[in-house]
Every structure is written in structure tokens, then in C-alpha cells.
Amino acid sequence: MIDKFRKVAMESLAVLLGTLLMSGPAFAQVDLSGVWGFVRGQYGQENGGGSDIGDFTGIPLNDEGRAVGLSFSAAQWSEPERQCQYYSPRYVSTGPFALNIWSDTDPVTGKIISWNMGAWIDKDIVTVWMDGRPHPSASAFHPFGGFATGTWEGDTLVIRTTHIKWSILRINGVQHSDRATMTQYIVRHGDLLSMLTYFEDPVYLSEPFVLSSVWQVNPKANSIRTSPACEPINESPRLENTSIVPHYLPGKNPFANDYARYYNLPLEAAQGGAQTMYPEFRKKLKDVYHYVPPEKCTRYCCDSPDPAVKCIRDGSGQVR
């Protein structure tokens, strides 16, 4: 009798455990921790030599955003106060450096209280609070990494970032204000980490700026959790202890038309705007501007890792 009972109990246990095996793990969360190398397959020039001055293509800039972008002078980076300035957390989405992601857990409950993405050479650590805390008020401090909270939707980590400092949207001077907010969707497919970034700025963008990017597991990628220490140096004496702020007066930026000129593009295309993001803009390029590409590529033509490929890899025009 006892033997029969034990046999039934054991086999019931087997069925139960087997059902659980079929069902898979009971937790919704995905482990995002590790070092993820940025996959260099897109954002070619943006992550290489940097976008050209006057290249605002594909950005839903409004008129004020365009005005500020055209007034920008790269010499501003020589202001002593800017030399150790972090990039905007928006730059998380386009690399080019690796992500180092780790979690912090509550020592009592073991629950993850934050995911952290750090830090690259020139970006702040982004802490994504997972404990349901609210975002602080508008009067609260804006850290370089912003204030971020996260929730799981299925196996997608959805991150909402507010309290972002005024910074650049693109290296060539397109800016975003301190009223910007960002929502990111991070999903893992095996050894790939894909991210959709939805960036809003009521001051400089007429529509959300949406980007997507992908990383791949790479324990050897160049990634550290904090940025290196940084000490400013005096690059330009004329900017020290003065009221000189490098910029171009309206209509006086001598480089404003360079990008359009390099690629035979009309200014309406080069200087951005929401219409430049959508396929129907091609009709205008074709029927109104009669766009014809340059006869051949003369700058930033390729970045193939194949050493046998000889091409122009930068703005110098030299093949190497």
C-alpha cells in the first residue's frame, strides 16, 4: 500500500515538474547584464569622423532648432568649462562605444532595484530605477545622465528618462534643450541587444526623433563602468576668463552649405526638418530639385573592416 502510494506520488511529481519544464522560466525579466559591443553597420559617418557641419538630414528640427544648429561653432568645445562635459544620454542610442550593463539588487529581497548602463569615455552612467519610484519635480537637479525609470513590457525593458541637461543632439551642433525627454525600448535576441530610442524635445523638435541601434555580446569590447577621470586644460587662452563664446551670427556660418554642396543636395534637405525623414520627400528631390548624385564619392566613402578594401575613409580624399 505504502509502495503504491509512493509510486503514485513520485510519478505525479514527475508530471508536475515536466509541465514546468515545458512552460519555461516563470520570471518575465531578461538578463541584460554584460558588455555589449556597438555593431558598426550603420551611422557610418556620424560614428566615424562625425556628421558634417550643416548635415541636419533626417532630424525633425523646427526653425529654432535649425537656427541654433547653424549658429554653432565647434570652437565652443574649447571653452574650459566644456572640456569635461558629458554627452547627452541620447548618445547611448548610437554608440560608438560599448555598453557595460549591470544590475543592483536589494540586499534583503534580492529584487533588482536598478539597471545601470555605463559609462563610455564621455557619457555619464545611466541608472534606470526599477523600484517604481516617481520622477522628481521640475525643480529638481538635472544630472548629465538624466533621471531614468524602467518597467518590463513582456521581455522589453522600457526606460523613461527626464531631467536631461541641455546638450547636443548631433556632434555638428544640433542641440536639444533641457526640456527633452526620452523613451527607450531594449530587447534582447540571443547575443544581440536592440534598442529603439524615442526622443522628444518640445523646444527644438517638431516631431519625436526616433532611432534604432544594435549591440552584440563582446566581453572584450572597450567598456568601463565609469568614464575616465578628466582634467580640463587651457586649449584657447582667448576663451579663458572672458565673455567670448564662439558662435556664428545668423546667416554668417561659412560652413553652413558645405554638406549640401558635397552631396549635390538642396538646402531644404541638408538643413533637416520632419519632411526629410519620410519617403515622399524623394518626390520633391526628384521633381522639384532634380537631384543627381555626385559623380563619385570623394569623402567618407567606406569603413569596411576588410584590409584589402582601399577607399577614402575620411574627409581627406586620400585612398587608404
Partner 1 sequence: MARKFSGSWKRKPEGWTLALAILLGIAGGRYASAQDIEILQVQPNFYMIAGAGGNIGVQIGSAGIVLVDTGSAGTSDKVLAALKKISEKPIRYIIDTSADPDHAGGNSALARAGLSIISGAVGNPAFGEDVLGNNGAASVLAHDNVLSRMNAGDSAEWPTKTYTSKFYKMSLNGEGIEVFHQPAAHSDGDSFVLFRRSNVIVAGDLFDPTRFPVIDRDKGGSIHGVIDALNRLLELTIPPYPQPWLAERTYVIPGHGPISDSHDVLEYRDMVVIVTDIIQDMINRGMTLEQVQAANPTDGYNARYGASTGPWTTEMFVTAVYKGLSAKRR
Partner 2 sequence: MKTVLRLETALTHSPPRRGGEFGRVLLILCLLSLCPRLPGFAQNAPSAKASAPIDLSGYWVTIITPDWRERMVTPARGDYLAVPLTAAAQKIADAWDPAKDEAAGEQCRSYGSPAINAAPTRFHITWQDDNTLKVETDYGMQTRLFHFGNWKPPAGPATWQGDSIATWELTGPAPARKSGNLRVTTTHVRPGYFRKNGIPYSANVRMIEFWDLFTDPGGTQRIMITQQIEDPEYLFRTWITTYNFKKEPDASKWDPTPCSSRW
Q: Which residues would be at the binding site for partner 1 (CB under 8 A)? A: 63-65, 67-68, 71, 76-79, 81-86, 102, 104, 114, 116, 118-119, 122, 124-125, 127, 136-144, 147, 163, 165-166, 177-179, 202-204, 224-233, 235, 241, 243-245, 247, 249-250
Angle at 211 between CA 95 and CA 292, to 5 degrees: 100
Q: Which is nearer to partner 1, 118 or 273 (CB)?
A: 118
Q: Which is nearer to partner 2, 86 or 300 (CB)?
A: 300
238 lines the binding site for partner 2 (CB under 8 A):
no
- 8 Å CB contact between 129 and 149: yes
Alpha-carbon distances, residue 273 vs 75, 192, 218, 276, 278 (angstroms)? 25, 32, 36, 6, 10
Distance (Å, rounded) from C-alpha 260 to C-alpha 267?
Answer: 6
* 20-79: contacts with partner 2 (CB under 8 A): 21-28, 30, 39-46, 48, 57-59
State the minimum distance, in angstroms, from the CB of residue 279 to partner 2.
4
Amino acid at 177: S
Distance (Å, rounded) from C-alpha 124 to C-alpha 145?
Answer: 5
Which region, judged by CB under 8 A, interacts with partner 2, from 125-133, 138-146, 249-257, 294-302? 294-302
Distance (Å, rounded) from C-alpha 178 to C-alpha 88?
Answer: 10
DSSP string across 110-172: --EEEEEEE-TTTBPPEEEE-S-PPP--TTS---TT-EEEEEEETTEEEEEEE-PPSEESSTT
286 lines the binding site for partner 2 (CB under 8 A):
yes
Strands 147-153 and 126-129: parallel
Q: Which is nearer to partner 1, 51 or 263 (CB)?
A: 51
Helix (H, G, I), strand (E, B) or coil at 288: helix
Binds partner 2 (CB under 8 A): choice among 108, 134, 137, 306:
306
Q: From partner 2, partner 1, none, which one binds at residue 114 (CB under 5 to 8 Å depending on kind)?
A: partner 1
Dihedral sign from CA coordinates of 298, 38, 210, 125: negative
* 188-217: contacts with partner 2 (CB under 8 A): 189, 192, 194, 196, 198, 200, 208-214, 216
Residue with the three cell numbers 520632419 = 274
Amino acid at 301: C
Binds partner 2 (CB under 8 A): choice among 202, 232, 294, 317:
294
Q: Which is nearer to partner 2, 78 or 276 (CB)?
A: 276
Q: Which is nearer to partner 1, 218 or 227 (CB)?
A: 227
State the minimum distance, in angstroms, from the CB of residue 34 to partner 2.
17
Q: From partner 1, partner 2, none, which one binds at residue 177 (CB under 5 to 8 Å depending on kind)?
A: partner 1
Q: From partner 1, partner 2, none, which one binds at residue 141 (CB under 5 to 8 Å depending on kind)?
A: partner 1
Q: From partner 2, partner 1, none, which one binds at residue 143 (CB under 5 to 8 Å depending on kind)?
A: partner 1
